[in-house]
A = this chain, B = another copy of it.
Amino acid sequence: MGSDKIITAGMLAIGDELLSGRTKDKNIGHLADMLHLAGIDLKEVRIVGDEEEMIVEALDALRGRYDYVFTSGGIGPTHDDITADAVAKAFGVPCTHDPAAMELMAAMYARRGMEFNEARQRMARMPVGASHIPNSVSTAPGFSIGNVHVMAGVPQVFIAMLEALLPTLETGAPVLSRSVVSPFGEGDIGTQLTAIQKAHPDTSIGSYPRFDGNRFSTEIVIRSRDEAPAEVAEKAVLAMIAEIASAKAAG
Binding site for B on A (CB under 8 A): 16-25, 28-30, 32-36, 41-50, 54, 58, 76-80, 114, 117-120, 122-123, 137-138, 153-154, 156-157, 175, 177, 186-191, 193-194, 197-198, 204-211, 213, 216, 221, 223
Counting every copy of the chain, the complex holds: 2
**Beta-carbon nearest neighbor of A152 in chain B:** B209
Contact A19 B43 (CB under 8 A): yes
Contact A45 B44 (CB under 8 A): no
Contact B118 A190 (CB under 8 A): yes
Residues of chain B within 8 A (CB-CB) of A223 are: 20
Contact B42 A28 (CB under 8 A): no
Contact A20 B32 (CB under 8 A): yes
Contact B48 A17 (CB under 8 A): no
Contact B25 A21 (CB under 8 A): no
Contact A80 B206 (CB under 8 A): yes
